[in-house]
Structure 1
Amino acid sequence: MKQLMLGNEAVARGLYEAGVRVISSYPGTPSTEMTEYASAYREMYSEWAPNEKVAAEVAAGASIAGARSFCAMKHVGLNVAADPLYTASYTGVNAGMVIGVADDPGMHSSQNEQDSRHHAIASKLAMVEPADAEECLQFTKMAYDLSEQFDTPVLLRLTTRISHARSLVETGERAEKDLKDFPKDPQKYVMMPAMAIKRHVVVEERMKKLSEYAEDCPFNRVEDNQAEIGVITSGVSYQYAREALGDGANYLKLGLVNPLPARLIRDFCKKCRKVYVIEELDGIIENHCRVLGLDVTGKELFGLLGEFSQSTVREKILGRSAETMEVEAQLPGRPPVLCPGCPHRGIFFLLKKLKCNVSGDIGCYTLGALQPLGAIDTCICMGASVSALHGMIKARGAEFAGKSVAVIGDSTFIHSGITGMIDMAYNKGIGTIIVLDNSITGMTGHQQNPATGYTITGDPTVAVNLEALAGACGFHRVRVVDPYDLTGCEEAIKEELAAEEPSLIIARRPCALLKQVKHNPPLKIDSEKCAGCKSCMRIGCPAISMKEGKAVIDFTLCVGCGVCEQLCKFGAIQAPEGGKAR
């Protein structure tokens, strides 16, 4: 049956049809939907892991135990999973294991434009890259056969435009795979030096065999249109090139992007007067061609930054720009903002008011760096807020600690903030950590995490008690505050900043977008009392604006959180019946 599917959805279908049994992932855009869609197939066990390292280890364990397994992550998550990834290359697999990784050219939701093909090369693992949803399904299934044929985990690389584009997919039936016997083979699976040094030999031999396989494998194909120019490409760049150049070029479409073929590329180039290499981000294919002594045109034309498009390819190769129409219009800017009623807003307002140095982290709350809140000073990677704060304080001393905090979400805290907290307590730090606990993994679309009390399928489970955890790690000062209560939060922050020991503040209030959250009626402005002072505008709530010198509240956006009401010195912000919002 043919269906329209997202690339990520098609990967999930491929997992189902390939007979996968165990899936463990950590959500990260643009990879999240692979696991979300897979969790709907109850023939497969799916879970959200605390982080990508754990997810990769769960998948590796399931593979060794005899079950086909999978884990998914975004490109920066692959960094977190690198430790087990590189060693799993040495151990190989029992049943097939595939790691889905989604890169994000253009940084639509990421802190860098990392090219995950480097990880494939460095870890000496096969990597396949589909170019549409149909290939997402087929390549996923084929990757398991490849994994078992060559005794290796296989990386499945997508990019944002493949993950989140829809195309027709031909679905099939599930191929049930019996559990393989669990092997007692320490020479293969116990990676201590004496065993690992022998397994390195196996890895190099495997790469030679994979290189031979790449020359004539079903992942790679040549489209010979008897043209003078040739294009070597992969993934979404193939789609751009095909649409821009049509039959005016020959194509070598590479689906196995590590290892790359040699003879296949040489033979292709011989038939073309000029060859272009079109690949987003780094020049992996281009450099391979140059090592082979081939004269190709690539990054000097297309560059290393951002996404490509059909227009990019057409302009760079054919010199033709797309027709455009200019329209004179003055449109207001639409910067990203925290949602109306977001429980993080009040905390950031207070941190700016108190002139705190704020070590930030990855999540919705990173928007606290933008004006008018403008409260975050640093943001490096998942969990870095806590560790970086500890480093800052060790560098600058107690006076700096008295005006500095780390902010981190509940899911990110579970992911990699706990170890930073342990480091702070163990090494006698005096930092203040604020966990912005909105009871969900917000930025990637409301996934559960170990602190919410629910599994990926919504089943009740144990929830990590953050207060007890902090105490067990050596934090004796732990308190919970309501982020809608500005006065209470301000007092708590001041008191903990003054303490000469590490402290944890948990600002706990569910995400305003959660379906089960019941909101208060929207607030309204008494225009006669409004002085037009714009104090309410300082929190950057999209429900509040100014009109004819007076504040107005959009009742379709307001959730009655009452934060703005606490800022108005004139009592102009009121609940509909004239009472208090809170």
Structure 2
Amino acid sequence: MKEKEKRVLTGNEAISRGFYEAGGIIAASYPGSPTVEVVEKLKEYEEVYSEFSTNEKVALEVAIGGSFYGVRSMAVMKHVGVNIAADPLMTFTQTPINGGFLLISGDDPGLASSQNEQDNRLFAKFANIAVLDPSNSQEAKDYTKLALDISEKFQIPMMLRITSRICHSRSIVSLDERIEAEVKGINRDKDKFCMIPPGSRRAQFFMKERIEKLEEYAYDLEINTLEEIESDTLIITSGMVYQNLKEVNPNASIWKLGLIYPISNKRAKEITAKYNRVIIIEEMMPFIENELKLMGIKCEGKEHFSFTGELDIKDIEAGLHNAGIIKDKRSYSERFVETVPRPPLFCTGCPHRPVFDILKKSKAKTIIGDIGCYSMAFLFPFEQSNIIISMGASIGITKGIKKAMSKKEDNEPLVAVIGDGTFFHSGLPTFVNLLHKKQEGENMTFIVLDNRTTAMTGGQPNASSGLYNDRDDMKVGIKTLLESMGFDRVNEINQYDYKAAAKLFKEEIAYDGLSIIVANGPCALKYNIEEPYYYVDPTICISCRACIKTNCPPLRMIKYEGIEKLKSSIDEDMCVGCSVCAQVCPVNAIKSSKEINREDEKIDN
């Protein structure tokens, strides 16, 4: 028998491979860490149609459409993206499944790249769908295939809940050949798929019955594995926590759950009855713990382990020591090397940098931020966001603040920022809503940062990307779109033209009414911006640090030979020639290297 090919894959890559092997056809996503790579990798498989959709709701609906036609389909998003997709999800879960359907939820214990830490296992139960929880890349691939099988067997949408650590970590995965799944075509039974009463009333019983059937199926499901030893203690866990628990190697039996909802009531009672103590170890909410307690099973959990953050080896050992399971703790200090803290910052040549440098120098006291690269403006040295909540929220929040201010006759200028990806994701309806009960004299300035890519997650295309390149097929002009909505004061400015942008920002913030600035400038990383580098003439530099305060990575203060005072410098290998530092220098000490080239040409001539 031919040995299977093996590769080292991330969890994200493994999910892509599993969907391909399972005969998947339609996959849609909105890019959000930690799950971006799933759809990126699906581009390698011609048999699969994949796309980055406008937002998570649209992505879910595209995948639902594929499932309705009878092909295996998948929607991929980070945990907070499920909130955006909740409207169609909560009704779609009432219908039977035609083609296998899988929702990938990238949960983020520890908030590595998210604004909250919500536990979407709870969302899955709320939506009456089942949840699989892989602990490594092999399981990520296998569970993807199993989820699609279960989905079709029990007529139920499935959730694969994967965490940031599994998404990005790598392990060995055995590959299989693709097996084409049956394409069933559209089921036109309107009583089952038109979800308005009375059809949706009947669907409540349908959802209850299929969960009950799936619970019976879970009784002897192979991915729920019991590792028994001579002990009076049973530990129940799932996901990445299992791998860390094995490193600790406590003197206890382990029941590792692959299907974490629904849990077989009968099997859980049979297993736990053998032990004096049952301890649940899980990240974030006490989901498994509460499920067992609802079954009447006495167990411990969150009294020993944190409700927030990842549970690494040290955390698990400390919790088990606190529970009296481990007597002597080992030292893991040599495994966890302290590193120099490095706060996130804008990339070299980022077009957002001049915007927030200008805003810092402006008279705007209140700036409402949003989700994207520009969220980092909240951090030092810019510190130019007072509020950041969720994608697209900056616009509606600004309107709400202004209406409240108007009641108190307070007309302080308000500034809101939103990126182009977020504008198309969820900003459009909030901009339309600005036209509702719009009043003269409400001083609000809205800045749309148009770098024509979804930069925060790796440069995926959005609706305006085609204006910068021929690879992308959408060419929506934001200024034109806003004017077509009915906004009469929309200005467009090149973000790299610092002086012109500063002048426009000053005028619009002072304007006693609603105005919009579309600030254009290509993402330097996405579009490989590389103009002649800039350099500092230390004999002219006055050490004012105006350039340093723009926080561009190539800039630093150094000691020049023969000059006592520290002067600014630019790493020419890092500089992309955006020129912002030169534009903010008050004494013209920063010059373009193309001037050097011109001097060389004169000498040659």
TM normalised by structure 1 equals: 0.95
Q: 2:39 aligns with which of 35, 40, 43?
A: 35
Deviations 1:264-295 (A, max 9, x none): 22222222332211100000111122223333
2:323 matched residue in structure 1 = none
Asked if 1:346 is matched to 2:354, the reply is yes
Counterpart CA distance in 2 for 1:551 and 1:265 is 66
Deviation at 1:401, TM superposition (A): 5.9
The one-letter code sitting in structure 1 at the alignment partner of 2:481 is L
1:524 matched residue in structure 2 = 535
Counterpart CA distance in 1 for 2:374 and 2:56 is 21
1:146 matched residue in structure 2 = 150
Deviation at 1:333, TM superposition (A): 4.3
Asked if 1:263 is matched to 2:250, the reply is no
The one-letter code sitting in structure 2 at the alignment partner of 1:373 is F
2:584 matched residue in structure 1 = 567
Q: 1:203 aligns with which of 191, 204, 207?
A: 207
2:301 matched residue in structure 1 = 298
Between the aligned residues of both structures, percent identity stands at: 39
Counterpart CA distance in 2 for 1:173 and 1:326 is 39
Q: 1:380 aligns with which of 379, 386, 389?
A: 389
Whether the aligned pair in 2 keeps the contact of 1:60 and 1:93 (CA below 8 Å) is no
Counterpart CA distance in 2 for 1:175 and 1:504 is 52
1:139/1:458 CA distance change after superposition, 3 Å: farther
Counterpart CA distance in 1 for 2:454 and 2:266 is 47
Whether the aligned pair in 2 keeps the contact of 1:454 and 1:461 (CA below 8 Å) is no
Whether the aligned pair in 1 keeps the contact of 2:77 and 2:104 (CA below 8 Å) is yes
SS of alignment partner, residue 457 of structure 2: coil
Counterpart CA distance in 2 for 1:24 and 1:316 is 40
Deviations 1:501-547 (A, max 9, x none): 43321111111112x43422221111111111222222122221122
Q: 1:444 aligns with which of 435, 443, 457?
A: 457
SS of alignment partner, residue 140 of structure 1: helix
Whether the aligned pair in 2 keeps the contact of 1:364 and 1:443 (CA below 8 Å) is yes
Asked if 1:478 is matched to 2:490, the reply is yes
SS of alignment partner, residue 161 of structure 1: helix
SS of alignment partner, residue 426 of structure 1: coil
1:487 matched residue in structure 2 = 499
1:469 matched residue in structure 2 = 481
Counterpart CA distance in 2 for 1:465 and 1:131 is 44
Counterpart CA distance in 2 for 1:71 and 1:237 is 25
Deviations 1:167-205 (A, max 9, x none): 111111111123213111111111112211111111111
2:254 matched residue in structure 1 = 251
Whether the aligned pair in 2 keeps the contact of 1:523 and 1:576 (CA below 8 Å) is yes
SS of alignment partner, residue 574 of structure 1: strand
1:310/1:323 CA distance change after superposition, 3 Å: closer
1:219/1:484 CA distance change after superposition, 3 Å: same
Asked if 1:77 is matched to 2:100, the reply is no
Deviations 1:348-382 (A, max 9, x none): 01111113221111111111111211111111001
CA RMSD of superposed structures (Å): 2.3
SS of alignment partner, residue 91 of structure 1: coil
1:535 matched residue in structure 2 = 546
Counterpart CA distance in 1 for 2:572 and 2:19 is 45
Whether the aligned pair in 1 keeps the contact of 2:369 and 2:386 (CA below 8 Å) is yes
Written as runs of structure 1 = structure 2, the 5 A alignment for 1:141-540 is 141-245=145-249, 248-317=251-320, 318=326, 319-324=328-333, 333-356=341-364, 357-397=366-406, 403-428=413-438, 430=442, 431-453=444-466, 459-514=471-526, 516-540=527-551
Whether the aligned pair in 2 keeps the contact of 1:277 and 1:285 (CA below 8 Å) is yes
The one-letter code sitting in structure 2 at the alignment partner of 1:534 is R
SS of alignment partner, residue 433 of structure 1: strand
Written as runs of structure 1 = structure 2, the 5 A alignment for 1:9-88 is 9-88=13-92
Deviations 1:400-435 (A, max 9, x none): 666222111111111001111001123316532211
Counterpart CA distance in 1 for 2:336 and 2:487 is 59
The one-letter code sitting in structure 2 at the alignment partner of 1:376 is S
1:504/1:57 CA distance change after superposition, 3 Å: same
Counterpart CA distance in 2 for 1:425 and 1:496 is 18
Deviation at 1:491, TM superposition (A): 2.0
SS of alignment partner, residue 165 of structure 2: helix
What stretches of structure 1 move > 4 A for 4+ residues in a row? 325-329, 398-402, 577-581
Q: 1:90 aligns with which of 88, 94, 98?
A: 94
The one-letter code sitting in structure 1 at the alignment partner of 2:571 is D
Counterpart CA distance in 1 for 2:596 and 2:427 is 41
Whether the aligned pair in 1 keeps the contact of 2:11 and 2:166 (CA below 8 Å) is yes
Whether the aligned pair in 2 keeps the contact of 1:426 and 1:474 (CA below 8 Å) is no
Asked if 1:552 is matched to 2:564, the reply is no
Whether the aligned pair in 1 keeps the contact of 2:532 and 2:594 (CA below 8 Å) is no
The one-letter code sitting in structure 2 at the alignment partner of 1:547 is I
2:113 matched residue in structure 1 = 109
Which segment drifts farther, 481-490 or 7-16?
481-490
Counterpart CA distance in 2 for 1:297 and 1:458 is 58
Whether the aligned pair in 2 keeps the contact of 1:104 and 1:159 (CA below 8 Å) is yes
Whether the aligned pair in 2 keeps the contact of 1:368 and 1:374 (CA below 8 Å) is yes
The one-letter code sitting in structure 2 at the alignment partner of 1:393 is K
Whether the aligned pair in 1 keeps the contact of 2:68 and 2:185 (CA below 8 Å) is no
Specify every segment of 5 or more residues in structure 1 that has no aligned partner in the other structure, as ranges: none
Whether the aligned pair in 1 keeps the contact of 2:465 and 2:472 (CA below 8 Å) is no
Deviations 1:115-165 (A, max 9, x none): 001111111111111111111111101111111111111111100111111
Number of residue equivalences: 577
SS of alignment partner, residue 77 of structure 2: strand
TM normalised by structure 2 equals: 0.91
Whether the aligned pair in 1 keeps the contact of 2:279 and 2:300 (CA below 8 Å) is yes
Deviation at 1:327, TM superposition (A): 12
Deviation at 1:447, TM superposition (A): 1.0
Counterpart CA distance in 2 for 1:135 and 1:409 is 36
Whether the aligned pair in 2 keeps the contact of 1:424 and 1:502 (CA below 8 Å) is no
1:240/1:91 CA distance change after superposition, 3 Å: same
The one-letter code sitting in structure 2 at the alignment partner of 1:107 is L
1:481/1:215 CA distance change after superposition, 3 Å: same
1:454/1:126 CA distance change after superposition, 3 Å: farther
